[in-house]
């Protein structure tokens, strides 16, 4: 029996992924770019059990829901097909971030699962292969294989859609949790509805592809200001496309918009900060590391505030034969 444990961190996108070109292969409609964080890790252990009749999945020490277990089983089926194995597994996962609160625990979750399952089933995969594998579990997990800034190439097929590192300016992220509750519409469902009903979806996909090119150039040039400007406009474009769905979806609440206002006030005082938000009400602000404490102080009244930086890509911690 083989047991493998891996650890991965969530990432926050500066150019967002929102919409799929192929649901089966999990190919995105456009590429994206993110920073892997040094906080809120997921640690996952996969233990093969040749005598078990089915897979088992525990999350935070308790049996996962039927829906969560089904996603993990489907992912393990992909790994088993590649490894030519029929062994079932026990998967035990622990998140340091609250699940569903918009801190992308599906990114760290499937990145850690990809690394642990590949090791447990003895697949010999390089980092790009692991990024492709993680993609099949959850799109954003593709990027959590990369340390720090990573670019996920949309690609044309399974082989060409993976993430790799990109150089960029140093930055801190200030996470402002205005509402720790579970989001009402999952990202997967929100993406489907946006693609199917938002009149702005084609514009979103086109402009994101252009923003990604500009963002890559700004990152390579170390241009923090341009990185910030593109980050904020890309996030607002994503939310505009989402809000135009039928029936509408609004992930941003008034408390979220207040953080965008506060960030604008900071810029008026010559402290460069830029806001972004994912599929939920919480806001993430980027700033130069030297400004992070002042930004966090300014935003303290808006919710729970935490400063984070760049973290490692998903990695194996231990493997054991017993």
What is the contact surface with ligand 2P0 in residues (CB under 6 A)? 13, 16-18, 26, 32, 104, 106, 138-140, 187-188, 278-279
The residue at minimum Cβ distance from ligand 2P0 is 139
The minimum distance between CB 3 and ligand 2P0, in angstroms, equals 26
Instruction: Kindly give, in sequence order, each residue whose CB lies less than 8 Å from that of residue 308, ignoring residues fewer than 6 positions away.
Output: 37, 38, 39, 40, 172, 173, 174, 175
Q: Which of 186, 110, 145 is nearest to 315 (CA)?
A: 145
The minimum distance between CB 138 and ligand 2P0, in angstroms, equals 3
**Residue 117 Cα to chain centre, angstroms:** 19
Identify which of residues 137 and 169 has a Cβ nearer to ligand 2P0 in the complex.
137
E-only strand ranges, 224-322: 273-277, 283-287, 304-308, 315-321
Identify which of residues 16 and 80 has a Cβ nearer to ligand 2P0 in the complex.
16
Rounded Cα distance between 305 and 296, Å, is: 6
Q: What are the backbone angles phi and psi of residue 222, rounded to the nearest 5°?
A: 70, 25
The minimum distance between CB 186 and ligand 2P0, in angstroms, equals 8
Q: How many CB atoms lie within 10 A of CB 174?
A: 26
Q: How many CB atoms lie within 10 A of CB 210?
A: 12
The minimum distance between CB 194 and ligand 2P0, in angstroms, equals 11
Rounded Cα distance between 229 and 273, Å, is: 9
Identify which of residues 48 and 117 has a Cβ nearer to ligand 2P0 in the complex.
117
Identify which of residues 138 and 177 has a Cβ nearer to ligand 2P0 in the complex.
138
Identify which of residues 27 and 262 has a Cβ nearer to ligand 2P0 in the complex.
27
The minimum distance between CB 255 and ligand 2P0, in angstroms, equals 18
Identify which of residues 5 and 187 has a Cβ nearer to ligand 2P0 in the complex.
187
The minimum distance between CB 187 and ligand 2P0, in angstroms, equals 3
Whether the Cβ atoms of residue 235 and residue 193 lie closer than 8 Å to each other: no
The minimum distance between CB 246 and ligand 2P0, in angstroms, equals 20
Q: How many CB atoms lie within 10 A of CB 91?
A: 24
Identify which of residues 5 and 32 has a Cβ nearer to ligand 2P0 in the complex.
32
């Amino acid at each position: 029996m083989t047991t493998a444990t891996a650890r991965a961190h969530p990432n926050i996108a500066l150019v967002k992924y929102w919409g799929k070109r192929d649901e089966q292969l999990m190919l995105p409609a456009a590429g994206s770019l993110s920073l892997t964080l040094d906080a809120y890790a997921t640690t996952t252990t996969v233990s093969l059990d040749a005598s078990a009749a089915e897979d088992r999945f525990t999350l935070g020490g308790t049996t996962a829901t039927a829906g969560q277990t089904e996603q993990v089983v489907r992912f393990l089926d992909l790994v088993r097909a590649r490894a030519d194995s029929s062994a079932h597994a026990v998967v035990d996962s622990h998140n340091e971030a609250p699940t569903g609160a918009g801190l992308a625990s599906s990114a760290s979750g499937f990145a850690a699962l990809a690394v642990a399952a590949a090791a447990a089933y003895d697949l010999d995969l390089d980092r790009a292969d692991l990024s492709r594998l993680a993609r099949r579990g959850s799109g954003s997990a593709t990027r959590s294989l990369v340390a720090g800034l990573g670019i996920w190439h949309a690609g044309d097929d399974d082989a060409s859609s993976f993430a790799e590192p990109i150089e960029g300016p140093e930055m801190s992220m200030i996470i402002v949790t205005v509402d720790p509750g579970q989001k009402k519409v999952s990202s997967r469902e929100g993406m489907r509805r946006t693609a199917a009903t938002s009149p702005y979806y084609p514009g979103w996909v086109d402009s994101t592809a252009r923003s990604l090119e500009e963002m890559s150039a700004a990152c390579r040039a170390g241009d923090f200001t341009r990185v910030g400007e593109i980050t904020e406009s890309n996030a607002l474009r994503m939310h505009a496309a989402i809000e135009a769905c039928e029936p509408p979806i609004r992930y941003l609440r008034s408390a979220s918009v207040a953080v965008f206002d506060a960030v604008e006030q900071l810029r008026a005082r010559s402290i460069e900060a830029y806001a972004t938000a994912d599929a939920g009400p919480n806001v993430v602000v980027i700033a130069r590391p030297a400004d992070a404490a002042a930004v966090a102080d300014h935003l303290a009244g808006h919710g729970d505030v935490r400063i984070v930086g760049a973290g490692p890509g998903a990695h194996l911690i231990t493997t054991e034969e017993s």
